[in-house]
Amino acid sequence: MATRHNWTKEEILEIYNKPLMELLYEAATVHRKNHDPNTVQVSTLLSIKTGGCPEDCGYCPQAARYHTNVEGNDLMSVNQVKAQALRAKESGSSRVCMGAAWRNVKDGEEFDSVLEMVRTINKLDMEVCCTLGMITENQAQRLAEAGLYAYNHNLDSSEEYYKEVISTRGYQDRLDTIGNVRKTNVTVCSGGIIGMGESADDRAGMLVALSTLSPQPESVPINALVPVEGTPMEEQEPVSIWEMVRMVATARIVMPETQVRLSAGRTQMSREGQAMCFFAGANSIFAGDKLLTTPNPDVNEDMELFRSLGLNPQKAFEKKEQPQSVSAEESQYQNLGEKPKWSRPGHKIERNLEAQQKPKAKA
């Protein structure tokens, strides 16, 4: 069946709420029609600039305004990044995803350095992904020219629930950045988080927003909230594995060609729960003992799980050819020194104030 770009919230909710065995069967059927069910893509996250972020994303331990244990760091050096990428390659990853705790990219030395990191990892014959916040079309072009394979920018939730989670930027800003990436050859990675207190309606709303993009994102990360002490969401109940399986299966059905990534929250899942997510159509994971700032399963445990399930890591550039990388000297794009006006909607958020005001237990 051809990929549809006109899914409605009602249709998606109907899929999400099907009896689980029906849902699993349907999702697994779509999965094997479009992908090798025994291949899973493995990505390693690298936090190249940690903490001190000016945004107020209610889930995020890196927002400067929350009192978490995350220490802010300066941007890593190109050599440090190269060493980490080589380690990731040796441990079986085909992709490195570099994350920066930025609201948006600013033209200048730091961005030039990130472009050099992209060139360096591309030369290691690995897929390079970046998640740096909002970017302009020119910045997306410069990343593409350096050899970027994917850009991650999550919608995180439905447009309605987004206003409960973040007040320092709007949903349209996110869509605009995705649009800027789409004007280049770089693939789009965009997904969201479940377990932030949103309803099934919101989850379906997020899947409508993602699946009606044309083309649909090449990869969609589904994160289970990692509730971090000091954030407004520290007391959220963990999502049940059934909700995770339903979300993965529904994403698989409405975005058949997309790589669905079982992302944050795997430390709370059993091996059997993760296996069910792979059966439901997840075909990508983040590997490495750390996500950006929070723990992730040990690489050896993951490889053991792959062996038990007969899964093979996907090779680099299996889905799309390796992008060419142009050196800084030969670049045809200028540093425009742009100062784009991303919005600051500043809507009022009724957060988990009780949890924030409660005195913290001493460690």
Q: Which residues bind ligand DTB (CB under 6 A)?
A: 45, 61, 97, 99, 131, 152, 154, 191, 221, 223, 226, 263-264, 291-294
Give the Cα separation of 336 and 61 in Å (integer). 32
User: Could you tell me if residue 197 is left (phi over 0), alpha (psi between -120 and 50 degrees) or otherwise beta?
Assistant: left
130 labeled binding residue: no
Count of residues making up the chain: 363
Q: Is 193 in the site for ligand SAM (CB under 6 A)?
A: yes
Q: Which of 95, 103, 119, 129 is catalytic?
A: 129
Q: Are 228 and 234 in contact (CB under 8 A)?
A: yes
277 labeled binding residue: no
Q: Is 57 in the site for ligand SF4 (CB under 6 A)?
A: yes
Give the Cα separation of 92 and 77 in Å (integer). 23
The only residue of 24, 30, 60, 140 in contact with ligand SF4, by rule CB under 6 A: 60
> Which range in 52-60, 84-92, 191-199, 265-273 contacts ligand SF4 by CB under 6 A?
52-60
Of all helices (H) and strands (E), which one includes residue 78? helix 78-90
53 labeled binding residue: yes
Hey, which residues between 283 and 312 contact ligand SAM (CB under 6 A)? 292
261 is catalytic: yes
Q: Is 62 in the site for ligand SF4 (CB under 6 A)?
A: yes
Give the Cα separation of 9 and 169 in Å (integer). 24
Give the Cα separation of 303 and 50 in Å (integer). 27
Tokens 């889930």 locate to 59
The only residue of 88, 115, 133, 311 in contact with ligand SF4, by rule CB under 6 A: 133
95 labeled binding residue: no
User: Can you name the residues that pair with 259 across neighbouring β-strands?
Assistant: 219
53 is catalytic: yes
Q: Are 158 and 203 in contact (CB under 8 A)?
A: yes
Between residues 64 and 309, which has the closer beta carbon with respect to ligand SAM? 64
Give the Cα separation of 312 and 42 in Å (integer). 10
Give the Cα separation of 112 and 50 in Å (integer). 18
Give the Cα separation of 242 and 287 in Å (integer). 22
Give the Cα separation of 231 and 349 in Å (integer). 14
Using CB distances below 5 to 8 A depending on partner kind, what does residue 63 bind out of ligand SF4, ligand DTB, ligand SAM, none? ligand SF4
The only residue of 50, 94, 131, 211 in contact with ligand SAM, by rule CB under 6 A: 131
Q: Which two tokens stand for residue 360?
A: 């913290």
Using CB distances below 5 to 8 A depending on partner kind, what does residue 293 bind out of ligand DTB, ligand SAM, ligand SF4, none? ligand DTB
Amino acid at 315: K
277 is catalytic: no
Residues that bind ligand SF4 (CB under 6 A): 53, 55, 57, 60, 62-63, 101, 103, 133
Tell me the binding residues: 53, 57, 60, 97, 129, 189, 261
Tell me the binding residues for [2Fe-2S] cluster: 97, 129, 189, 261
Residue numbers annotated as active site: 53, 57, 60, 97, 129, 189, 261
Residues that bind ligand SAM (CB under 6 A): 59-60, 62, 99, 101-102, 131, 133, 153-154, 156, 193, 223, 225-226, 228, 264, 292
